Amino acid sequence: MFSQIEQLLKEVNSFYPKSKEELEAFRVKYLGKKGLLSSLFNGLKEAAPHDKKSAGLSINNLKNAVLNKINSHKNTFEQVIKKNSIDTSRPIRLNSFGSRHPISLIKNQIIDIFKKIGFGISEGPEIEDDWHNFSALNLPKEHPARDMQDTFFLQTNPDLLLRTHTSSVQVRHMENNPPPIRTISPGRVYRNEVISARAHCLFHQIEGLYIDERVSFADLKQTIMYFAKEMFGEETRIRLRPSFFPFTEPSAEVDIYWGLKNDSDYRITKGTGWLEILGCGMVDPNVLENCKINSKTHSGFAFGMGIERIAMLKYGVTDLRLFFENDVRFLKQFSAL
Ligand code: DAH
């Protein structure tokens, strides 16, 4: 009996199934009802009493070897089966790479629109000095128009402030580049405002500047019209309302016709159907001179718009604060754009 068990143990140990079926046959051969192990266990009854214990141990040992063999190979076959059962026609599940922030989406869109007509991009510092943010732009100290923009000043140096608009980049660009100039300047700006659905202490603007010989108001209007149509659709209508900015003369605010189709249109356009999208004007000769550009030979136009405002209109967002809260439920909605 012992030599038979030993022989079987050798057999078991050297057994390597090539298929699931072979493994099953092996299982039946050893563990089946009429299998070798049950006949060995039956045989125990006839064993000599002093052999019973060690014979039992040996049979158990053999049984364990059989079970180990089956278990270790069962897994390999299951894996193979799983591999082969991959359905290659199933649509793939794309990994989620996150989404661009709506402010970045709109900013990039605006940049692309102006790039197409030859505008480059310029940037300036967010901590700005009085000259670039105010004085050079025809806003001397004590000028009441400074009140239009509530400013954060730096406590350590009263000449420094967080820029209140990207118009400061106009000045820097003109100081450092001779005309002709065609540039847009996107960036963050800061104002000391109470945070609400319509105002924030931090927001984004894009400034535009065009300086050359004989640039006219008609050029400005045409450029803004092109922009409005690219941004809001070919059918878009614009109107220019006279306005005031210290750095442009004449100045205008531009509205697009939004329509009065529903309650919300009435609310956001205050019943007029028109919505303001930007401020603009012909660069004041004083500003040109402040930036060492000859106002006798050169003229130009400038415009500035809030990116949040455009984004709110494009995406139907009614609360400005959503852009700054980074709530993924809000941001995820832009992942397809
Ligand atoms: N800087 C103005 C603001 O922040 C926007 C603006 C208006 C910019 C007219 C311009 C401009 O360049 O010509 O409210």
Q: Tell me the two tokens of residue 202.
A: 């931090």
Rounded distance between C-alpha atoms, residue 250 and residue 39, angstroms = 109
Q: 102-334: which CATH topology?
A: BirA Bifunctional Protein; domain 2 (3.30.930)
Q: How far is CA 212 from the centre of its chain?
A: 37
Instruction: State which ligand 1 atom lies nearest to the alpha carbon of 208.
Output: 12
| Cα of 167 from ligand 1 centre, angstroms | 6
Nearest to 335 by CA among 104, 107, 113, 110: 104
| Residue 22, φ and ψ in degrees, nearest 5 | -65, -40
Instruction: Kindly give, in sequence order, each residue whose CB lies less than 8 Å from that of residue 36, ignoring residues fewer than 6 positions away.
Output: 8, 29, 30
Answer yes or no: is the C-beta of 279 below 6 A from any ligand 1 atom.
Answer: yes
Res 130: pLDDT: 95
Res 72: pLDDT: 84
Res 76: pLDDT: 74
Q: State the number of CA atoms in the 13 A half-sphere of 9 facing the CB.
A: 15
Rounded distance between C-alpha atoms, residue 119 and residue 332, angstroms = 31
| CB-based contact 100:311 (threshold 8 Å) | no
Length of the chain: 337
Answer yes or no: is the C-beta of 280 below 6 A from any ligand 1 atom.
Answer: yes
Res 83: pLDDT: 63
Q: State the number of CA atoms in the 13 A half-sphere of 26 facing the CB.
A: 25
Answer yes or no: is the C-beta of 203 below 6 A from any ligand 1 atom.
Answer: no
The DSSP annotation for 195-250 comes to --SS--SEEEEEEEEEEETT--HHHHHHHHHHHHHHHH-TT--EEEEEEEETTEEE
Nearest to 244 by CA among 281, 287, 219: 281
Res 88: pLDDT: 79
pLDDT by position in tens, the chain (length 337): 788 889 999 999 999 888 888 899 999 999 999 899 998 888 888 888 888 888 889 999 999 999 998 888 877 776 665 666 777 788 887 776 788 999 999 999 999 999 999 999 999 999 999 999 999 999 988 887 777 778 999 999 989 999 999 999 999 999 999 999 999 999 999 999 999 988 899 999 999 999 999 999 999 999 999 999 999 999 999 999 999 999 999 999 999 999 999 998 898 889 999 999 999 999 999 999 999 999 999 999 999 999 999 999 999 998 999 999 999 999 999 987 7
The DSSP annotation for 100-128 comes to --HHHHHHHHHHHHHHTTT-EE----SEE
| CB-based contact 151:193 (threshold 8 Å) | no
| Cα of 163 from ligand 1 centre, angstroms | 13
Q: Domain-by-domain residue ranges, the chain?
A: 2-84, 102-334
Looking up tokens 């030993």 gives: 6
Res 79: pLDDT: 64
Answer yes or no: is the C-beta of 300 below 6 A from any ligand 1 atom.
Answer: no
Res 82: pLDDT: 63
Res 75: pLDDT: 76
Res 81: pLDDT: 58
CB-neighbour burial class of residue 165 (10 A; exposed 0-12, middle 13-18, buried 19+)? buried
Nearest to 165 by CA among 140, 134, 138: 134
| Residue 202, φ and ψ in degrees, nearest 5 | -130, 130
